[in-house]
Structure 1
């Protein structure tokens, strides 16, 4: 590295008589406290450059390891299509109505066995096990990126086991592990998701039809044209987002990595399209694209079950803060929660179907909504609980943003859009941005690109939560 030289600070033996002097540290190490050693390289800049170069190479190698493991995880989950694997075919609907809506759909394990998954479950389970093992081998036990990817591996293995249990009680039990149950509390001592559904239903019943209902007169073809124009306006020219019709989905619309599918036989009104533009386009498509733009943590482009609550909650929050939500939309989400609670309490398909009829839905819509609850399960089994994510996610995501504002951590809020994020990972993602392993989101909807209005709202909201609505209602009795 360079020449080492002894520099005298305060020699007790003066004058120095050379190596025969016992006070010299070169002869007697015990006299060392009187001396200090300094490294004086001939070329300090060259040494620092070499050290820096080694650090850069180590950093690049570390990033390559993460990217390689992340890409393996993304590739491994590619053939898993949960919604395709659990949907009911049109034959079940036709038989149900041919029987005058009086018989349970004939859905059991044998029915699903005739609908192949498109992958070998045993092979895929082993693949995720191998990836998880390699993550620990290459990144260690406590590496934050490794912890996220290992959890994703475990979740995907649970998803595979859930799909293997289609039509059995095991399907519903694993669904509750992955997506939660209607009886889950938000926090210790807080109300449950069921309680939220009941409270919202009471509030919505007071509104009734006072605001009227806008008829659905826009065809799927026209909806495609309208939404395509909205997407062209929202996203830059170098990032095309396609909108097209599809007859293979249960919902009115669904988002993919860079597209929005519209069910070909669905009808819409303008409010519906405003919701779809915000919910599917500004959130689901945007977070997918932001995940695809991650240069290292590519796994952020894919959403495991744990991200569902955050992503759907973020989408519902966007509907609300952009003033695009409305009572009929909220009633739809609330009824999904109530229907799942009924099924978890023992109600079968017919009872849930009649629940929707009692809420004013047509027979066709009642069947569609009830089939969402029991898809993947049997007609009298435990429900598929994914639809709890909407209301549950809204509450949890709203609370997170409110606390971020209160604690002055505004930089954390836009990171919700850096990919298919999960709330429990947000602190880690903030650290990964600082390390350069995660890049900030490229596409942000206006309320999150400029946090002024959202921050002001949350400041007021934080105070309003401390007021007693019962006391307010009593005080306002004479003026309302």
Structure 2
């Protein structure tokens, strides 16, 4: 017996049409690509023996096109927002969610327009949070929570049996191992691990891939963390969203979803005993770096902070540039790295 095909209702058709418009409108927006510092900035910093701050100005960002017209893009999201009210209504739950997403992407465009200025960080705080945020009245700030966790982790790191194994697995071999994990977990879904030269972190997830930095080295514990964090959570939840036939916007998480995504990923690392005190301490150090920057520290202060934590110059530069990307070396921070700790505490 042939399966009866049910034609979607007018309502569902409208939902899908409007949802597809959001997905299409956000496609050219690449936040991390728009704010990253290129290799020349890094090379010049090391040529100066790491003694003078990188030269990153408003003009630097102005010479890096966004790939779309900001005015047109903001208007596009505004028009979708208005059509949501006209077609689905002001109080319809899906209309409320999609209009919030439209407003959020308008904020993203405004943030990218403001690269190199204090406004960039102000909008970053609206999207990702600030180290001085609290969850409830009287609660400790995110910065304070980080300090509390740091005290416990510092004691754990003194235990001899928690010393991490050397990182001897190159990116090519790591990709092969992760692709085996992907095929085991999500066979036939078109997901893959790949090597990339264009990322700051050791690894990053996209819609259907995990990218590893070409010069990064890993150990098996690192790869277990990537399996849980990037594959199970980031790729897995994306697949789940893409399976939605009408609310297609669920396959493309807006920036505010980063708190949930990264928090869930860190929580899963902990629940599966995949994470390590060193890994968690690295996340805490990022929170501390953002806290210091919000309090007035500049790039050289943060670079010194990471060096004092025992990191080499290369890693210290990488982590410091994460804090100041999109901003200037003496400006306010890009606060996305708060989401790992903020989300892991908030979401449970």
TM category, shorter = over 0.9
| Structure 1: runs of 5+ lacking an equivalent | 1-55, 399-480
- The equivalent of 2:126 in structure 1 is 177
- The equivalent of 1:156 in structure 2 is 105
What secondary structure is seen at the aligned counterpart in 1 of 2:217? coil
The structure 2 residue matched to 1:189, chosen from 127, 138, 155, is: 138
2:308 equivalent to 1:334? no
What secondary structure is seen at the aligned counterpart in 1 of 2:115? coil
Q: Distance in 1 between matches of 2:284 and 2:124?
A: 19
2:303 equivalent to 1:353? yes
5 Å matches for 1:232-247?
232-236=183-187, 238-247=188-197
What secondary structure is seen at the aligned counterpart in 1 of 2:195? strand
- Contact kept, 8 Å, 2:259 with 2:342, in 1: the verdict is yes
2:163 equivalent to 1:212? yes
What secondary structure is seen at the aligned counterpart in 1 of 2:29? coil
- The equivalent of 1:123 in structure 2 is 72
Q: CA deviation at 1:295?
A: 0.3
- The equivalent of 1:198 in structure 2 is 147
Q: Distance in 2 between matches of 1:314 and 1:206?
A: 25
RMSD between superposed Cα atoms in Å: 1.1
2:5 equivalent to 1:61? no
- The equivalent of 2:178 in structure 1 is 227
Q: So what's the TM-score if we normalise by structure 2?
A: 0.96
- The equivalent of 1:253 in structure 2 is 203
- The equivalent of 1:19 in structure 2 is none
Q: Distance in 2 between matches of 1:189 and 1:397?
A: 19
Q: CA deviation at 1:312?
A: 0.6
Q: Distance in 1 between matches of 2:264 and 2:127?
A: 19
Count of residues in correspondence between the two structures: 341
Q: CA deviation at 1:213?
A: 2.2
- The equivalent of 2:86 in structure 1 is 137
Q: Distance in 2 between matches of 1:99 and 1:247?
A: 24
- The equivalent of 2:249 in structure 1 is 299
The structure 1 residue matched to 2:52, chosen from 93, 99, 103, is: 103
Which one has a bigger Cα radius of gyration? 1
- Contact kept, 8 Å, 2:157 with 2:278, in 1: the verdict is no
What secondary structure is seen at the aligned counterpart in 2 of 1:305? coil
- The equivalent of 2:3 in structure 1 is none
